[in-house]
């Protein structure tokens, strides 16, 4: 995964790494005509991982008191909606490339725009909470 995507929150970084690998394998099966039969399975796996990842992130944001949590949740929902639309109305194989690009852009865009913003708040939170507070200095 590109260094610019690394947020510095180990659990979330590990999940993003796994997501990137799945997005890459999805791209691969979409572009190779002989592997088109694997698209549905690849989308199912990516969808499952995203559901788990988003739940983790949302619990994390709640824990740190992230003010933009409702907005971030909407973004997550928007990404999941693409998958749900696909599962409800699977496109013709000829439209897989459009679908693949949309998913790739949304999943990677989610990391760049929204998670990076959340990270700044998380880092400030961790800094504040790791510093001793309310204790009197020894004299």
122 contacts Fe ion (rule: CB under 5 A):
no
42 contacts Fe ion (rule: CB under 5 A):
no
d(CA 12, CA 55): 11
d(CA 77, CA 128): 30
d(CA 16, CA 49): 10
57 contacts Fe ion (rule: CB under 5 A):
yes
d(CA 90, CA 130): 49
Q: Give min distance, CB of 59 to Fe ion, in A.
A: 12
Taking the CA atoms of 21, 101, 51 and 115 in sequence, report the sign of the dihedral they define: positive
Stretch that binds Fe ion, among 24-32, 99-107, 112-120, 126-134 (CB under 5 A): 112-120
Nearer to Fe ion, 51 or 98 (CB): 51
39 contacts Fe ion (rule: CB under 5 A):
no
66 contacts Fe ion (rule: CB under 5 A):
no
Taking the CA atoms of 23, 28, 31 and 36 in sequence, report the sign of the dihedral they define: negative
Binding Fe ion (rule: CB under 5 A), the pick from 9, 79, 107, 115 is: 115
Nearest CA-CA partner of 15 in 115, 86, 100: 115
Nearer to Fe ion, 29 or 61 (CB): 61
Q: Give min distance, CB of 30 to Fe ion, in A.
A: 22
Nearer to Fe ion, 10 or 134 (CB): 10
Using CB under 5 A, list all residues that contact Fe ion: 57, 115
């Amino acid at each position: 995964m590109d260094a610019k995507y690394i947020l510095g929150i180990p659990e979330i970084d590990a999940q993003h790494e796994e997501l990137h690998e799945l997005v890459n394998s999805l791209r691969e099966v979409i572009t190779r005509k002989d592997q088109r039969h694997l698209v549905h399975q690849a989308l199912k796996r990516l969808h499952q991982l995203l559901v788990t990842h988003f739940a983790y992130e949302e619990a994390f944001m709640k824990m740190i008191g992230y003010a933009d949590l409702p907005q971030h949740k909407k973004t997550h929902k928007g990404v999941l909606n693409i998958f749900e639309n696909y599962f409800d109305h699977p496109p013709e194989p000829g439209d897989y490339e459009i679908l693949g690009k949309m998913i790739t852009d949304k999943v990677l865009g989610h990391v760049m725009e929204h998670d990076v913003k959340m990270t700044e708040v998380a880092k400030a939170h961790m800094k504040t909470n790791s510093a001793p507070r309310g204790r009197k200095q020894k004299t």
